[in-house]
Amino acid sequence: MGGLLQEVALAGDDIPWLEGQREKGRELFLAQGLPTAKTEAWKYTRPRDLMTEDFILTGTDEDESHEEEHCNYHQGECRCGHHHESQKALSFPSYEIRFENGIMQAIDFELPKGVTIKPLIEAIYEEDAVKSYLGKEIDMAHYPFAALNTAYMEEGVYIAVERDVSLTKPIAIINHTHACRQNLMAHLRNLIILERGAQATIIENFNYSGNEKSRYFNNIVNEIYIGRGACLRHYKLQDEAYKAVHIALSRVKVRENGFYESFCLQKGANLARNESKISLKEEQAEAFVNAAYMINGWATVDTTTDIEHLSAHSKSHQLVKGVVGGNAKGVFQGKIHIAPNAVKTEGSQLHKALLLSDEAEIDCKPELEIYADDVKCSHGAASGELDKEQLFYMRSRGIGEEEAKQILIDAYLTEVINTISNEDVKNWFSDSANINTGEEKC
Amino acid sequence: MSNTPLLEIEDLSARVKDKEIIKGFNLTINEGEVHAIMGPNGAGKSTLSYVLCGKSGYEVTSGHVRFKGKDLLSMSVEERAREGLFLIMQYPVEIPGVAVTTFLKHAVNAQRKYHNQPELDTMDFMKLLREEGRKLGISADMLKRPINVGFSGGEKKRLETLQLTILKPQFAILDEADSGLDIDALKVVSEGINAERNEHNAMLVITHYQRLLNDIVPDFVHVYADGHIVKSGGKELAAEIEKNGYAEFTKEK
Amino acid sequence: MTEKKQTPEIADESGDKYKYGFVTDIATESAPKGLNEEIIRLISGKKQEPAWLLDFRLRAFNYWQNMKEPTWAKLNYDKIDYQDLYYYAAPKQKVSPKSLDEIDPKLLATYEKLGIPLKEQEILSGVVAVDAVFDSVSVATTYRAKLAEKGIIFCSISEAVREHPDLVQKYLGTVVPYTDNFFASLNSAVFTDGSFVYIPKGVKCPMELSTYFRINAQNTGQFERTLIVADDESYVSYLEGCTAPQRDENQLHAAIVEIVVLDNAEVKYSTVQNWYPGDKDGKGGVYNFVTKRAACRGKNAKISWTQVETGSAVTWKYPSCVLQGDNSVGEFYSVALTNNYQQADTGTKMIHIGKNTTSKIISKGISAGHSNQTYRGLVRVSPNADNARNYSQCDSLLIGQNCGSHTVPYVENRNKSAVLEHEATTSKISDEQLFYCRQRGIDEETAVSLIVNGFCKEVMQHLPLEFAIEAAKLINISLEGSVG
């Protein structure tokens, strides 16, 4: 057992550049430490729960010994009494990549032509492109968890779509945690490269089975490169166990005429942060960055975006909606940065949140940073409770109060779920949003 | 009608970005005349009005335009305006926070200063504005509102007309002055414009439909297609177009 | 104490638009440079202060010594050497002139030149009472007798400490404690003068009260402190203006304004800040670090801040409202215009504590030249602030390709019945708007100033009329050279 930074042997330690990056990650994580109250970027989200010394890194001896004697989850049976059924499949066909407790499982589908999918570590050995992309756009000095992730860089998936190749089915990355014991931590690194004119849809699904009170830590970094005229639709459902810590960064670079659409629904974890840092590097690059959260209990769930418009005629649009009950805290931080000369750009951002209980909290920091005059930028933020008039109206028509509330909440979230352009995925999210958290017992 | 030329356009060509829109356009308008330019949508009729007013982004590639004998094209936008060139715009822009009265007072006094006339004092100006406004059905309250902000299409056009009656330009261009107007508002606006007609000024009415020309009766009608005038005639030409459409002219090229 | 004569510096009049850049040639009495306990004791002694106040200063100083200058603002300025400043400078004159006749005519002339006549009979309308602060001290307060009839106290804070110690002690430092922030601690240690206002119960102040701040001496920090107390059912409208001579080096200004508003009382505080902004290359100018805060302690209390900020090389200022009393109301209306190399990081805080409290923020920022401007605001709703309401609107206008405009609002809601709305837009003056104005014969520069004034109108209409006219002129002057 040990703290967040442990001495472990990682695959690929014979590759100097990889070791160099890991070492730099260790250094920069140590230099920064965990964010504190004074870390502006983490002002509202304090990962206090990570200040313990009892983390078990996935895939290490300690983890495996547990697996052998306690929980043979590959067979779906576990001595802890939990039945670990790999999560129910998506409701539509997909290329499914499975991670079990942070370890990528063998791929059991045939790869379409022009598409490479393999474990990151294999790609590091086999694909020349990896070296020129991996870690290139990550500012580890300002992203402590990305630095930590880099220190452990090994597990994760490499996805590359060649020029002008369009994938017909979505790629689903299922991250399943067998939460039958405590303190497991996984650091996943995914590298996704869409070459010029390529098109793909990627769905990340984080879920768990087993002890819902189990504490574990997932730290994910996605590096996403979208080539000229390429199009990536990136969806994510975060439905971790309610004591879990989930921290994710998607670093996205979009080139000329490239298109990035993302939607993330967060409904689980004790502390979660889904962060997107998107650079619209060249002209006409465009991003839709939407999100929703519906949280309860003592959760703190954070949606942070930072969109850099670095070139003229780039566009970004953000809609984030949250519903917060119990003692939970919803956090939204959004930044639109317009570089000098990035003229004729458009950036819009809207955050809305509903508070359902007296103890719920919303913290919001929408930010504009603008260095060019010929731009159209706006942001808006609103928070409040359910409309009493609307509730009264529905109850006067005989609808029970709880049901009326649910109808209003559904309607509230539907607006943002409807921004998803893939119908199958949209329906899947609608279904997911209606499932109460914590109900999926094994 | 006299034979004193007010506006002389010779062989005018102009482009927007890389696209040639006006190609070898010729027209002379004398004092006291009303000319109408009719043409299909997208023919570049508005471009002609912007070129004459000097809007940036509209580049003259060849030709000459003389206004009252002076070289119009070498003047700045505001100089042309102060010389007496006025454009009723199809889509007047909103300027938040700037009251109609404030705006017009600046405009009137800028023009007066240019002609070495004393500035109007606020009392006289307000009196004039309210009187003219009343004729056009513009309330005192509307005069206090920020210019064009939240105005209906009809209100905007009435306000443009009000500016015409206050600034008394020698040459007015009406760019689709009837768009967004219902029958009643059209009547008010055209009466306001007709009242300004005299033997020293002139007008260029740019329109797609004949409708406006029933109220503001032109002396000459020109059909505009492919960047220049393809046919000229009297007011009867307008009726002919109303009946047959523009097809024969667009085919002619 | 050393005595020194100010060397008059002739401001370069040619083509310079800052018309308040002159220096008054007057004998000044100042304490030695530097900051230590001795200096603080000296300032306190000079002002014949009671022990509690000296103690307050020393505690502030001790606290300040362990503090770090804040770096979170989007501001870039040379490090200030706090030991290289004079902390006390006063025009040499009788300690407290009994009447205006005893005031140095040069001072009277200075204020006249600034458009602030101090001789009461010369004020035509007679509606504004003025406290004139010159460098570190208040030199004159007008209309005191007339105000005294109503029980209103309007005097320099030094005098208030002597004449009304109970009132001052009761409220001083209760809204902005000496531990509040780096500049507030500094001010608490070394403040030299400022204005004090007390409006008794049930009194509506019959005229606008005004303080006019003037920095004159070289290398001298100005640390004034203003305390306004509006007792139950009272009302006052307060105006603040500021100018400084044009100097090549930067001048430091670190002020505090504290306002206490009790039951059903209302305070309107308007500022037109026109400290010397530096020249067109960014040389010189005032560093303006100000802590302004009002506590609405009583029920139905209301505070309204209106500011027009066109001056200073660096502005760091967040006039705030602490809405403690139930149904209390806070408002913030701001126009900030930066040009050349000016930098402003300004905004407000609305802290909702009482029930049914409402706040409104209207901020209009105009950036031109190479300037950078940030709106930074906080709206916080505490768990007990049932039915709190906030509406915030932050609009920015950019003029030219080299300026920056930033919006950083913080919204923290811990009460479900609160309704908070925030909107922000960024735009430029559109080509269409300019063309429209020019087509009507209005030249480009006038068109820009018309459009900018239109953009600010929502804020300007909250200023008292005369102030509004002055502010509009100031905006036009400050915009000069930003077009074309």
- Give the lowest-confidence range in A22-26, A179-183, B146-150, C202-206: A179-183
Query: Which pLDDT value is given to residue C13?
Result: 37
Q: What pLDDT, in 10s, does the model give residues A221-276?
A: 999 999 999 999 999 999 999 899 999 999 999 999 999 999 999 999 999 999 99
User: Residue C253 pLDDT > 60, yes or no?
Assistant: yes
Q: What pLDDT, in 10s, does the model give residues A393-428?
A: 878 887 888 888 888 898 889 889 999 989 899 989
User: Residue C343 pLDDT > 60, yes or no?
Assistant: yes
Instruction: Report d(CA C358, CA C353) in Å as an integer.
Output: 10
Mean pLDDT (whole number) for A289-299: 95
Nearest to C237 by CA among C262, C259, C215, C222: C259
User: Residue A67 pLDDT > 60, yes or no?
Assistant: no
Q: How far is B53 from chain C (nearest CA, A)?
A: 7
Q: Please, which residues bridge with residue C198 across strands?
A: C153, C229
> Which stretch of DSSP H or E encloses residue A124?
helix A120-126
- Judged by CB atoms closer than 8 Å, whether chains meet at C437 and B103 is answered as yes
Identity of the residue in B80, B106, B114 whose CB atom sits nearest the CB atom of C446: B106
- Higher-pLDDT residue of A317 and B252 is A317
- Give the lowest-confidence range in A127-136, B108-117, C98-107, C379-388: C98-107
Rg (CA), chain C: 22
Residues 59-118 of C with CB under 8 A from A: 72
Pairing mode, strands A259-266 and A231-238 = parallel
Q: Six-digit token pair at B110?
A: 């800028």
**B205, B174 Cβ separation under 8 angstroms:** yes
**C89, C201 Cβ separation under 8 angstroms:** no
Winning range, highest mean pLDDT, from A106-120, A248-262, C80-94, C455-469:
A248-262
Helix/strand/coil for A56: strand
Q: Indicate the average pLDDT of chain C.
A: 87
Contacts of C397 in chain B (CB under 8 A): none
- Percentage of chain C beyond pLDDT 90 is 61
Residues 298-317 of A with CB under 8 A from C: none
Query: Which pLDDT value is given to residue C122?
Result: 46
> Which stretch of DSSP H or E encloses residue B134?
helix B122-135
Outline where DSSP puts E strands in A112-215: 115-119, 157-161, 171-179, 184-194, 199-210
User: Residue A435 pLDDT > 60, yes or no?
Assistant: no
Query: Which pLDDT value is given to residue A26?
Result: 96
Domains of chain B, first to last: 5-93+168-252 (3.40.50.300)
Residue B92 has what DSSP assignment?
P
Report the 10 Å Cβ neighbour count for B182: 11
Q: What pLDDT, in 10s, does the model give residues C255-308?
A: 999 999 999 999 999 998 888 899 889 898 999 999 999 999 999 999 999 999
**B219, B1 Cβ separation under 8 angstroms:** yes
Residues 413-432 of C with CB under 8 A from B: 430-432
- Judged by CB atoms closer than 8 Å, whether chains meet at C424 and A361 is answered as no
Q: Which residue of C has its CA nearest to A361?
A: C414
User: Residue A5 pLDDT > 60, yes or no?
Assistant: yes
Query: Which pLDDT value is given to residue C165?
Result: 95
Q: Indicate the average pLDDT of chain A.
A: 90
Query: Which pLDDT value is given to residue C194?
Result: 86
Helix/strand/coil for B105: helix
> Which stretch of DSSP H or E encloses residue A14?
none
Nearest to A87 by CA among A231, A204, A189: A204
Reduce the secondary structure of A399-441 to three states and give it as a string: CCHHHHHHHHHHHHHHHHHCCCCCHHHHHHHHHHHHCCCCCCC
Query: Which pLDDT value is given to residue C3?
Result: 46
User: Residue C16 pLDDT > 90, yes or no?
Assistant: no
- Percentage of chain B beyond pLDDT 70 is 98
Mean pLDDT (whole number) for C86-93: 77
- Percentage of chain C beyond pLDDT 70 is 88
What is the separation, in whole angstroms, between the first and last Cα of chain B?
33
Query: Which pLDDT value is given to residue A245?
Result: 96
- Percentage of chain A beyond pLDDT 70 is 91
Reduce the secondary structure of C330-352 to three states and give it as a string: EEEEEEEEECCCCEEEEEEEEEE
Contacts of C402 in chain A (CB under 8 A): 340
Task: Please list the ranges in chain B whose pLDDT falls under 70.
Answer: 1-2, 251-253
Q: Six-digit token pair at C248?
A: 């090549």
The set of residues, in sequence order, having a beta carbon less than 8 Å from that of C472 and lying 6+ positions away, is: C453, C460
Q: Please, which residues bridge with residue C133 across strands?
A: C138, C213
Helix axes C37-46, C51-65, angle to 10 degrees: 150
- Judged by CB atoms closer than 8 Å, whether chains meet at B114 and C454 is answered as no
Q: What pLDDT, in 10s, does the model give residues A154-191?
A: 999 999 999 999 999 999 999 999 877 788 999 999 99
Cα→Cα distances A396→A367, A386, A388, Å: 41, 16, 12
Mean pLDDT (whole number) for C64-75: 93
Chain A with chain C: Cβ pairs closer than 8 A: 115
pLDDT confidence of A439, banded at 50, 70, 90?
A: very low
User: Residue A66 pLDDT > 70, yes or no?
Assistant: no
Q: Six-digit token pair at B244?
A: 């047959």
Mean pLDDT (whole number) for A420-438: 76
Instruction: Report d(CA A439, CA A437) in Å as an integer.
Output: 6
- Judged by CB atoms closer than 8 Å, whether chains meet at C440 and B163 is answered as yes
Rg (CA), chain A: 21
User: Residue A111 pLDDT > 60, yes or no?
Assistant: yes
Nearest to C402 by CA among C377, C376, C428: C428
Query: Which pLDDT value is given to residue A390?
Result: 87
Instruction: Report d(CA B175, CA B89) in Å as an integer.
Output: 6
